[in-house]
Amino acid sequence: MANETDINRIKELTEILNHASRVYYQEGREIMPNIDYDRYYDELLELEAKTGFRLANSPSQNVGYEIISELPKERHEKPMLSLDKTKSPDELISWLNGKRGVLSWKLDGITCVVTYENGSLVKAVTRGNGEIGEVVTPNARYFDNLPGSIAFKGKLIIRGEAVISYSDFDKINDEIEDTAARYKNPRNLCSGSVRQLDPTVTAGRHVKLIIFTLVSAEGTAEHPEVPDFNNSFSAQYDWLQEQGFEVVEHIYTDASTLKADIESYKAKIPDYDIPSDGLVLAYEDIAYGESLGRTAKFPRNSIAFKWQDETAETSLRYIDWSASRTGLINPVAVFDPVELEGTTVSRASVHNVSIVEELELGEGDRITVYKANMIIPQISDNLTRSGKINIPSTCPVCGGKTEVRRDSNAALLYCLNDKCPAKQLKSFELMVSRNALNIDGLSAKTLEKLIGEGFIHEYADLFELGRYRDQIAELEGFGTKSADNFIQAADKASNTDLYRLIYGLGIPGVGLAGAKLITAHFNNDLGRIMDADHEELKSIDGVGPVLADNFTAFFSDAENRRITLDLAARLKFNEVQAANEEQVFKGKIFVITGDLKHFNNRREAQDLIERLGGKATGSVSAKTSYLINNDILSSSSKNKMAKQYGIPIISEDEFISMLPEEVRNV
């Protein structure tokens, strides 16, 4: 009989698990280790079986993410169930029950049901919550490998996993200049790509659909012929491949070879380009598998195999509290190095204060660690549980006060200082950007880590990373090479132009062109620039009263002046000769488009225009003087706009002919 304690625990576990699932599927965040989720889930199943009590929204009865987009919805003809799982090869052998099986990858993407009629793709629906999915047919037509038409003219329904390969994921991220806008992982990018409201976005994402199940193949009045699969699961795969579909990589197996087959898949993981989180074993005998029926949540004709996590015992050295841009301070366990899955690890995220407390962590405790999905180091247990870790009352980055807040069932630690450097990530991103100091390799993610670890407090610290070389090298995902690259990039960037520093300070309204105007006016004298008054700034052609207000307000702040001078002390500014060149472009506005053949890039040509008194902008307007385009007859929007305004379109050679002779001959 159910008791109140068990029922309350069921309610608590349901809330914890549902919250973790929502955060994972909808926001791409993990708020607890996989091992804890599995432990809570197994406990919930036990209590539900024991008491007979189950909430309507129990995760034991619901699968997949809740639909939150504006895409059309459609109910599946048959519920799309998740798979039961195991980490034990012996359990898989027992599950086979002497039968032959088909072993394949368990892909980590977005499951879709695709329908063909009369040889044509007519519908694609996501798995959704298992009962209702989202209609993504227009997007599916842009999947890289999905046929638009096939030879089979009956009605075909198949299921597959929409995925983006690791290599395509890296290419897409590399093309995004704003590092803060880069995607977290292939699964999140794939989810957003498949569920786009604009199919043209999907087209550029290289989504592939890899088929793992043939749901049905039916004849029609016009085309009554249906394939004969001879009750063979693998024959279905062969036939689907003949139709032009990409089928999940698979092999035939039985009790005598299963363990070796699992090991062969495991060996492929480092080089496998498609995201996966385990294997799937299905019965080769279709009729036998279907005869077993299903549970409320799982079909009985297939089962998932999750990799058995390799664990190691070690000693906890301390908890490193790492601040983030949101103010959240994340606990990271630092322990004696151990070998896991072929690599040495010495750090693991503990996620939040609740887990620190639940594990009763203390310096010197004996802990066991593992790699979730063979990738992410995490703590599985604390063997000694001294509970000696104190939650910090001050931020490790700025020293400001901290506060523990409750988010559902998780206790989270936050820094309360709005001026904490960890919260000023955008300002550091600007300072290291290409048009500012141009420190190569310091992405938003890297900056956030280095700031959170306390290695960077202000701009000057970007050039003092050598002091922390060994600590940086020990950070997860970095290493000695990364640490040396950061230091070398900063050293290279320390030779720069003063206008780049002024631009990088992020003074409201002061763009690159404004920074150049101001530094040139004051002959690159930082002292004069910082002491500039409102009236003198306004006297500079191109500097208005608002910009002048912002500029003087910035340098009237003593802390801003100190930070600027500290940074300048670590830099060597390039000498700038007095401008004695003829200002032939004074009052002229240029726009540059298309490929260049004489200049290395547009920035080089724009710098020359500005040096000679002109301005270079990115878009054509009625005020534009010239559009530079080597393809004068192009039908581009900029050419059309220039013709509409009667603006001369000149080639690069014509532009060069306009330069003073002394400049043209350099």
Residues serving a catalytic function are 106
Question: Tokens at residue 126, please?
Answer: 């996501």
Identify any residues that bridge with 253 across adjacent strands, giving them in sequence order. Answer: 101
Burial class (CB in 10 A: 0-12, 13-18, 19+), 292: exposed
Concatenated DSSP letters of 465-507? GGGGHHHHHHSTT--HHHHHHHHHHHHHHTEE-HHHHHHHTT-
Q: Give the count of alpha carbons within 13 A of 135, CB side only.
A: 10
Contacts of 331 (CB under 8 A, 6+ apart): 319, 320, 321, 322, 349, 350, 351, 352, 353, 355, 356, 413
Q: What are phi and psi of 412, to 5 degrees?
A: -120, 145
Query: What are the start-end ranges of the E strands in 62-207?
Result: 73-75, 85-86, 101-107, 110-117, 120-126, 132-134, 155-163
- DSSP state for residue 95 in the 8-state scheme: H
3-state helix, strand, coil split of the chain in percent (to 5) is 35, 25, 40
Strand arrangement of the beta sheet that strand 155-163 belongs to: 120-126, 110-117, 155-163, 208-218
Query: Residue 86: how many CB atoms within 10 A of its CB?
Result: 18
Q: Residue 376 is inside which H or E element, if any? A: strand 376-382
Q: How far apart are CA 184 and CA 181, in angstroms?
A: 9
Contacts of 181 (CB under 8 A, 6+ apart): none
Q: What is the 3-state secondary structure of 210-233?
A: EEEEEEEEECCCCCCCCCCCCCEH
Whole-angstrom Cα Rg for the chain: 31
Strand arrangement of the beta sheet that strand 626-628 belongs to: 615-617, 589-592, 626-628, 649-650
Amino acid at residue number 163? V
Helices (H), 308-384: 353-358
Amino acid at residue number 618? G
Q: How far apart are CA 479 and CA 476, in angstroms?
A: 8
Strands 626-628 and 589-592: parallel
Distances (CA, A) of 465 to 171, 444, 447, 455, 456: 29, 16, 12, 7, 8
Helices 258-268 and 89-96 pack at an angle, to 10 degrees, of: 130
